[in-house]
Amino acid sequence: MAAPAPLRQRRPRRFRERKDVLHDLDDGELIKRYRLDRAGIIFVTDLVRGPLTNPTGRNQVLTPEMKIIVLLRYLATGKMQLCSMDDLGPSQQTVSRVITETLMALSSNAILTQFITFPITPHETQRKIVDFQQIAGFPGVIGAIDGTHVRISAPSEFEGEYVNRKGYHSINVQVIFDAKYKITDIVAKWPGSVHDARILNESSLNRVVFGRGMVPDGCHLLGDSGYPSKKWLLTPYLRPQPGPQSNYNRAHKITRSVVERGIGQLKRRFHVLHGEIRVQPPSKVCQIIKVCAMLHNICKDRNIYIPAAEDDEEEVDDPLPLQPPQPPAAQRPREGLLYRDEFANLHFRNDN
């Protein structure tokens, strides 16, 4: 009778030593790697400490702070592998799980609406108007609106709907910036093939905020010619006449550039938005976009700069070619166009 095989001893699990980055790195290095300083990281952690706290008593469970740091590293670089290679400790599988868990917590509406808010009160709108008018003398502006495409990997469902006019898969994101480069509204849910004008038309901004008169009279957004002209959305003249129309266009272009620069800042701060986001499904990409927008505003509130290595040169968003223009004036609702004429004649009769 053969002797029984000797029992194999179970090898003890070996864990990588984790760096305590909050104490080992100074604020400058933290901002370079994670886009927030120590106080900012703790501030964001406190927003979702409850949902991110694991009830188990195991020694190697990631703390809420470490989960936020892992997510920030991914958003700053766009590369999940750096989160596990960067002395943080977690395996690639753990990194993926932590990113999903932390995104879910931070992208809740209760969190996002604390930091992304559209101005609707007289006090809020007047402050925005003053800030914008200081740029180029354009009156009555509370925001600049545009669409930007975030590249994604081909989804498994409705793949064709995500192909934009440049031929790559994307999410078309509608975003509004104020004059301080803070995001006041963001819509991140539409496939890349959808026109900017349709996204606006379906948005709560059109249906509720302006549609139901929640904003004081005399408040406007500035948009490019891909949008329809409305009493609250001012677009440029395609063929301006000398005088008020040309003066209007000149001030409009300078003032509206805020949104192009703002999008450039957002994508420089969080490089994940610069390249192809290789996560599925697209709804998770939308969570990433909204969380980046919220964190961008937190950085603005806390005066946290974009790291110098990525900010040596001013950069604006590189948009797709201008979308097909709106139908000829004769086929479009006249109310917005007539209002624009009145506005230009009233405010831009003289050269600024």
Per residue in 164-180, pLDDT tens?
999 999 999 999 999 99
Residue range 58-104, pLDDT digits in tens: 556 789 999 999 999 999 999 876 665 565 666 788 889 999 999 99
Side-chain-facing half-sphere of 241: CA atoms under 13 Å: 7
Please enumerate, as own/partner, the contacts of 35-39 that have beta carbons within 8 Å and a separation of 24 or more. Answer: 35/72, 35/75, 35/76, 35/269, 35/270, 35/295, 35/299, 35/304, 35/307, 36/72, 36/295, 36/298, 36/299, 36/302, 36/304, 37/302, 37/304, 39/302
For residue 57, pLDDT over 80 is answered with no
Q: Is the omega angle on the peptide bond into residue 281 within 30 degrees of 0, that is, cis?
A: yes
First to last CA, the chain: 104
Q: What average pLDDT does the structure give for the chain?
A: 89
For 180-204, what is each residue's pLDDT tens digit?
999 999 999 999 999 999 999 999 9
What are the pLDDT digits (tens) for 318-329?
Answer: 555 545 555 544
State the CB neighbour count (10 A cutoff) for residue 239: 6
The residues, any chain, with a CB within 8 Å of residue 287's CB and separated by 6 or more, are 103, 104, 107
User: Does the pLDDT value for residue 279 go beyond 50?
Assistant: yes
pLDDT of residue 156: 93
Q: 233, 199 in Cβ contact below 8 A?
A: no
pLDDT band at 55 (very low <50, low <70, confident <90, very high): confident
Query: Is the Cα dihedral 165, 170, 175, 179 positive or negative?
Result: negative
pTM above 0.85, yes or no: yes
- Chain-centroid distance, C-alpha 232: 23
pLDDT digits (tens, 9 = 90+) for 14-23: 545 567 899 9
The answer to whether 36 and 106 are in contact (CB under 8 A) is: no
- pLDDT of 19 reads 72
Instruction: Using the predicted structure, report yes or no on whether residue 330 has a pLDDT greater than 50.
Output: no
Residue type, 282: P
Nearest to 137 by CA among 229, 254, 261, 259: 254
**Segment 200-214 mean pLDDT:** 95
Gap between the Cα atoms of 344 and 352, Å rounded: 12
- Which residues touch 27 (CB under 8 Å, ≥6 apart)? 37, 38
In the predicted structure, residue 331 carries a pLDDT above the cut 50: no
